[in-house]
């Protein structure tokens, strides 16, 4: 039994919810770059990875750049480790705190003709998993978010530092 629980906990999904701690909301590479540099970065990513979603492979745009962060929970450093294009649905899963848990997000979703269920279905399709798997992952993502939101975080933009031109 304990082996099974261990396995379930270790389940790795292709598409995950990644909630940025509340103490560093609104601090991103995007906010430190001019529009011109951001467009250039988009072109660079298209050239390197093609016009498709980096996670699910969908070729149906529009695509949005998403910043992938890594968290050092001992030193409280948030490090930018990648920037890739995602399709709209994959990107909404990444920011599920906004789209699935705020009235503003849900309202915007409704105006686009989408619902929380559409996002959950996309998650299950991409990860080939059940709705229960989604709900468990969602709960874990929020638990982690609450823990991380208790701390102040230092940011490390890694190899993307060079793109910053608005500091
Ligand atoms: Zn996708
Ligand atoms: Zn994003």
What confidence tens digit (pLDDT) does each residue in 83-134 have? 999 999 999 999 999 999 999 999 999 999 999 999 999 999 999 999 999 9
The CA 56 to ligand 2 mean position distance, Å, reads: 15
The CA 161 to ligand 1 mean position distance, Å, reads: 26
| CA 158 to chain CA mean position, Å | 18
Residue 151 has, within 13 A of its CA and on its CB side, a CA count of: 16
Query: 46: pLDDT confidence band, cut at 50, 70 and 90?
Result: very high
DSSP 30-58: GGGS-HHHHHHHHHHHHHHH-SS-TTT--
- pLDDT for the residue 25: 85
Query: 167: pLDDT confidence band, cut at 50, 70 and 90?
Result: low
The CA distance from 80 to 82, in Å, is: 6
The CA distance from 54 to 61, in Å, is: 12
Kindly identify the ligand whose nearest atom is closest to the C-alpha of 63.
Answer: 1
The CA 91 to ligand 1 mean position distance, Å, reads: 7
Please compute the mean of the pLDDT values over residues 56-64 and round it to a whole number.
Answer: 96
Decide: 31 and 20 in contact? Cβ < 8 Å. no
- What pTM was computed for the model? 0.90
Protein residues placing their CB within 5 Å of the ion ligand 2:
66
The CA 92 to ligand 1 mean position distance, Å, reads: 9
**Unique residue bearing structure tokens 């948030």:** 78
Kindly identify the ligand whose nearest atom is closest to the C-alpha of 84.
Answer: 2
């Amino acid at each position: 039994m304990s082996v099974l629980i261990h396995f379930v906990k270790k389940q790795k999904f292709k598409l995950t919810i990644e909630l940025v701690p509340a103490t560093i909301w609104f601090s991103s590479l995007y906010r430190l770059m001019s529009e011109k540099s951001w467009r250039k970065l988009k072109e660079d990513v298209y050239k390197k990875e093609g016009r498709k979603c980096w996670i699910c492979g969908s070729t149906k745009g529009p695509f949005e750049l998403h910043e992938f962060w890594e968290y050092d929970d001992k030193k409280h450093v948030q490090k930018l480790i990648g920037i890739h294009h995602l399709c709209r649905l994959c990107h909404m899963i990444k920011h599920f705190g906004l789209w699935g848990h705020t009235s503003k997000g849900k309202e915007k979703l409704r105006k686009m003709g989408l619902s929380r269920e559409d996002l959950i279905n996309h998650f299950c399709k991409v990860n080939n998993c059940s709705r229960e798997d989604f709900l468990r992952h969602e709960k874990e993502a929020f638990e982690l978010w609450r823990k991380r939101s208790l701390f102040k975080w230092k940011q490390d933009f890694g190899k993307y530092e060079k793109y910053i031109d608005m500091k």
